[in-house]
Chain A
Amino acid sequence: MHDTRTNTNRAGRELRLAQIGLHEEVELVRIDLPDEQAEPLLERGLLPGCRLCPVRLSPAGDPVVMVDGTLLALRRETADCLCVRLARGLAD
């Protein structure tokens, strides 16, 4: 995979979920949304500290992510508000 190349400069840095490639596992750091809008995400398992992995793009290009064994379909506008960090970078 292309991990070795990208990880060197992306590891540990905060990225947006929308910038993450398919099948890259990341850890959620923060949800940049007011509590009102974040709560439904929190309720569905998108919590700071959880591992998530974009597994597919919908035909219109919106991400489908796997989190905690659940497949969640999001809009890319929402994915843009999710701050993540590469999981590999953490372990190193």
Chain B
Amino acid sequence: MSASGPRSVRRPAAPGSEAGSTATLGERSQAPPTRPLVALVGPPNAGKSTLFNQLTGLRQKIANYPGVTVEKKLGVVDLGDGLEVELVDLPGVNGFSARTADERITRDVLEGRAPGLRAPDALVLIVDSTRLEPHLMLVEPTLALGVPTLLALNMADELHARGGAVDPSALGEALGVTAVETNARTGQGLDQVRRFLRAVAERGPLPERACPAVSNVAKGTPLPMADQFARRRRHIAELTRRAGFRAAGPSALTRRLDALFLHRVWGPLIFLVVGVVVFQAMFTWATPFMDGVEAVIAGSGEWLAARLPESWFRSLLIDGVWSGVGSVLVFLPQILVLFLFLGILEDSGYMARAAVIADRLMYRVGLQGRAFLPLLSAYACAVPAVLAARTVEDERDRLATIFVAPFMTCSARLPVYALLIAAFIPERPLLGPFMGTRAATLLGLYALGVLAAVGSAFLLKRTLLRGEPSSFLMELPPYRVPSLRSLGLRLVDRTRVFLRRAGRIILLVAVVLWGLTQVPRVDGGAPPIDESALAAAGHVIEPAIRPLGFDWRIGVGLVSSLAAREVIVATLGTIYGVEDADEGSIQLQAALQRDLDLGSAVALLVFFVFALQCMSTVAVVRRETGGWKWPLIQWSYMLALAYGGAFLANWLI
């Protein structure tokens, strides 16, 4: 085979007819592999994704808690001179017992059993050198795979700062592997990693072979498992001692901050204060920016309207698109403030402490403390949260976590909440300058979501998913100062996601709805909105939502928001944009105040707290649970709760 000789690596060719690698499935098996595959293996939070991003230029999610990456991710490393390797970032593993869904992904890739992916031709084992000895337990099982391996001793900066020292060449020699010191954050030591990858690229992909299974301990040995672990551990202690390794001392910063954040009284108090500060900031910090965005959208709309001749096209652009998409765009600053705080919490290491504080509650509910991290990430979006539930060990607990994750308030609900709160809740100070009525209402809505999640999990664990409460075990990472760059990138990425949604699904819905307001034509022009096709469709739904205090406009909004929650804001923007077309820029809040009373506004909020209006979530739940059963139960349950809750709210207020 040409691929096995040196210098034989070529740029990827078009898929040829040669039936190549048989170990892989899918279209890749058609072409002979041209780029070797290198896998990044290592314990959780060792810096795999950081290194991956440095080498490939991609932007995998990075955060300072274990279990961030839960899916394999491919990237290409350009090594110059036309040399390339394919790099795959993997979920972190503490060992190879493959107990959780994410650990199984790592195992499958290493064993060459991942669909569509060849077995790796080389490995980079990346460990945290401040926890060197326990992490070196992975060396033996990894080397047993028999492919060229580089050992990256990451977090060199922290090791040295905490008084530790390691001689990579001596350690590598003792372990029988090439070892280099790296700092994946700054890129120190990366040239040595690239040198290794270059050698791999020059050698080209390995020939076809049968991959051995990877496991913690050799199968079929009479020694109890604990003893085998202990023996390996003693061996490592002996090797590191001979290699002159000096372990890092405890981190003084971590000790001091933990004394505060895990304090019996201060800990939970700070936990609450953090929450309050985030919500207040979402209003006070974001408001000037929101006013700015609003002014730009309104100004540009008016500017356009003045320049375009009176036509259907102007109506589509101004009343449909501008008022529809524009009314959602206004909420970008608020979402960015939320993500800024989430970013600080995730990058600093506080998230893992929050999980510890919440663990007892999780225990009472019947869930694993681990499940808290996916649930927290659901504040951004339920989709990654459902994926992150892979880190939950017990299958029943994983299902319960997936089931309740959409109750946590995702950022797509934020525009709906913020719009209604601004329209119906007057701002008054509550806790002096610290919290106003609006932030308190928002906090209340988030709390209602948490309550629903907790209550539902409690019920589930006692009915459909009965089981013993499992253990909680979590590594607490050291605190780290979040880098401005990584926080900035998070905001940029979030803005991009938000704009993409606004430019696709929200734009599409706005255009379609606008179209429905224009037919049937009356005297060659648009009909009064109450006689349009949209209103006709809305009136069909109206009887069902009358008891909640909603009219046909909200009904149309509820249906269109099945696609994505924030679409209701765009829908209302378009409907009122067409309806009040002569008033220039629309005042969505004023229009809502005209058509809803307080009771029905609260009912609408409650509806959004509970209902599962998100196609992406339904799709990902189907994929992660392997069928329609769970997404259907979940969707109906949440809808029933939403309807009941909204009915009650409208009736009470």
* Chain A positions near chain B (C-beta within 8 angstroms): 30-31, 35, 37-45, 47-50, 55-60, 62, 64, 66-75, 77-78
**Across the interface, do A68 and B94 meet the contact criterion of CB distance under 8 Å?**
no
**Across the interface, do A62 and B226 meet the contact criterion of CB distance under 8 Å?**
no
B99 within 8 Å of A (CB atoms)? yes
- B299 surroundings in chain A (CB, below 8 A): none
**Across the interface, do A73 and B359 meet the contact criterion of CB distance under 8 Å?**
yes
- The answer, among B97, B250, B254, B369, for a CB contact under 8 Å with A40, is B97
Q: Which B-chain residue is minimally distant from A74 (CB atoms)?
A: B473
A70 and B77 alpha carbons, distance in the complex (Å)? 32
* Chain B positions near chain A (C-beta within 8 angstroms): 94-95, 97, 99, 130-134, 137, 216, 224-227, 229-230, 233-234, 247-248, 250, 254-255, 258-259, 262-265, 267-268, 352, 355-357, 359-360, 363, 369, 393, 471-476
Q: How far is the CB of B216 from chain A (nearest CB, A)?
A: 7
- B264 surroundings in chain A (CB, below 8 A): 57, 59
**Across the interface, do A59 and B263 meet the contact criterion of CB distance under 8 Å?**
yes
**Across the interface, do A49 and B230 meet the contact criterion of CB distance under 8 Å?**
yes
A69 and B357 alpha carbons, distance in the complex (Å)? 22
**Across the interface, do B226 and A38 meet the contact criterion of CB distance under 8 Å?**
yes
**Across the interface, do A35 and B225 meet the contact criterion of CB distance under 8 Å?**
yes
Lowest 5 CB-CB distances: which A-B pairs, in order? A43-B95, A60-B360, A45-B134, A43-B94, A71-B476
Q: How far is the CB of A91 from chain B (nearest CB, A)?
A: 17
**Across the interface, do B99 and A73 meet the contact criterion of CB distance under 8 Å?**
no
Q: Which B-chain residue is minimally distant from A75 (CB atoms)?
A: B472
- The answer, among A39, A73, A75, for a CB contact under 8 Å with B97, is A39
Q: Which B-chain residue is minimally distant from A50 (CB atoms)?
A: B233
A50 and B236 alpha carbons, distance in the complex (Å)? 13
- The answer, among A43, A70, A75, for a CB contact under 8 Å with B359, is A75
- A72 surroundings in chain B (CB, below 8 A): 473-476
A43 and B262 alpha carbons, distance in the complex (Å)? 25
- A75 surroundings in chain B (CB, below 8 A): 359, 363, 369, 471-472
A86 and B641 alpha carbons, distance in the complex (Å)? 54
- The answer, among A41, A59, A64, for a CB contact under 8 Å with B268, is A59
- B258 surroundings in chain A (CB, below 8 A): 56, 64, 71
**Across the interface, do B262 and A58 meet the contact criterion of CB distance under 8 Å?**
yes
- The answer, among A30, A31, A39, for a CB contact under 8 Å with B95, is A39
Assuming the contacts A38-B226, A59-B267, A73-B472, asked whether A43 and B360 have C-beta atoms less than 8 A apart, the reply is: no
- B216 surroundings in chain A (CB, below 8 A): 39, 42-43
- The answer, among B224, B471, B476, for a CB contact under 8 Å with A77, is B471
Interface of A is mostly: mixed
- The answer, among A42, A56, A59, A71, for a CB contact under 8 Å with B226, is A42
Assuming the contacts A75-B472, A78-B471, asked whether A70 and B357 have C-beta atoms less than 8 A apart, the reply is: no
Q: Which A-chain residue is minimally distant from B129 (CB atoms)?
A: A69
- A70 surroundings in chain B (CB, below 8 A): 131, 134, 475
A56 and B265 alpha carbons, distance in the complex (Å)? 14
**Across the interface, do B133 and A68 meet the contact criterion of CB distance under 8 Å?**
yes
- A45 surroundings in chain B (CB, below 8 A): 134, 137, 233
A10 and B363 alpha carbons, distance in the complex (Å)? 32
- B94 surroundings in chain A (CB, below 8 A): 40, 43-44
**Across the interface, do A71 and B475 meet the contact criterion of CB distance under 8 Å?**
yes
6 A–B pairs (Cβ distance < 8 Å), ordered by A: A39-B99, A41-B473, A47-B230, A56-B262, A69-B133, A73-B352
- B360 surroundings in chain A (CB, below 8 A): 58, 60, 62
- B363 surroundings in chain A (CB, below 8 A): 75
- A71 surroundings in chain B (CB, below 8 A): 254, 258, 475-476
A62 and B472 alpha carbons, distance in the complex (Å)? 10
Interface of B is mostly: helix
Q: Which A-chain residue is minimally distant from B249 (CB atoms)?
A: A69
A35 and B89 alpha carbons, distance in the complex (Å)? 30
- B355 surroundings in chain A (CB, below 8 A): 73
A77 and B248 alpha carbons, distance in the complex (Å)? 30
Assuming the contacts A40-B393, A68-B131, A73-B356, asked whether A47 and B475 have C-beta atoms less than 8 A apart, the reply is: no
Q: How far is the CB of B556 from chain A (nearest CB, A)?
A: 47
Q: How far is the CB of B209 from chain A (nearest CB, A)?
A: 28
- The answer, among A30, A62, A64, for a CB contact under 8 Å with B476, is A64
- The answer, among A31, A48, A57, A78, for a CB contact under 8 Å with B473, is A78
**Across the interface, do A69 and B359 meet the contact criterion of CB distance under 8 Å?**
no
The interface centre, meaning the residue of B99, B216, B233, B355 with most chain A CB atoms within 10 A of its CB, is B233
Q: How far is the CB of A4 from chain B (nearest CB, A)?
A: 25
**Across the interface, do A38 and B225 meet the contact criterion of CB distance under 8 Å?**
yes
Q: How far is the CB of B473 from chain A (nearest CB, A)?
A: 6
**Across the interface, do B133 and A73 meet the contact criterion of CB distance under 8 Å?**
no
- B95 surroundings in chain A (CB, below 8 A): 39, 42-43
**Across the interface, do A48 and B230 meet the contact criterion of CB distance under 8 Å?**
yes
A61 and B474 alpha carbons, distance in the complex (Å)? 15
**Across the interface, do A59 and B225 meet the contact criterion of CB distance under 8 Å?**
no
Q: Which A-chain residue is minimally distant from B478 (CB atoms)?
A: A71
- The answer, among A50, A66, A73, for a CB contact under 8 Å with B250, is A66
A70 and B268 alpha carbons, distance in the complex (Å)? 23
Assuming the contacts A38-B225, A56-B258, A71-B254, asked whether A44 and B475 have C-beta atoms less than 8 A apart, the reply is: yes
A74 and B470 alpha carbons, distance in the complex (Å)? 11
Q: How far is the CB of B488 from chain A (nearest CB, A)?
A: 29
A51 and B355 alpha carbons, distance in the complex (Å)? 25
- A42 surroundings in chain B (CB, below 8 A): 95, 216, 225-226, 229
The interface centre, meaning the residue of B137, B259, B471 with most chain A CB atoms within 10 A of its CB, is B471
A30 and B357 alpha carbons, distance in the complex (Å)? 28
A49 and B95 alpha carbons, distance in the complex (Å)? 19
- A37 surroundings in chain B (CB, below 8 A): 471
Q: Which A-chain residue is minimally distant from B352 (CB atoms)?
A: A73
A12 and B97 alpha carbons, distance in the complex (Å)? 33
Q: How far is the CB of B327 from chain A (nearest CB, A)?
A: 43
- A58 surroundings in chain B (CB, below 8 A): 262, 267, 356-357, 359-360
- B248 surroundings in chain A (CB, below 8 A): 69
- A30 surroundings in chain B (CB, below 8 A): 226
With A39-B95, A69-B247 already in contact, 16 other A-B pairs whose C-beta atoms are closer than 8 Å: A35-B225, A40-B393, A42-B216, A43-B94, A49-B233, A56-B258, A58-B360, A59-B264, A69-B133, A69-B134, A70-B475, A71-B476, A73-B356, A74-B473, A75-B359, A75-B472
Assuming the contacts A43-B95, A48-B227, A62-B360, asked whether A74 and B263 have C-beta atoms less than 8 A apart, the reply is: no
A58 and B247 alpha carbons, distance in the complex (Å)? 26
A56 and B476 alpha carbons, distance in the complex (Å)? 12
A70 and B66 alpha carbons, distance in the complex (Å)? 12
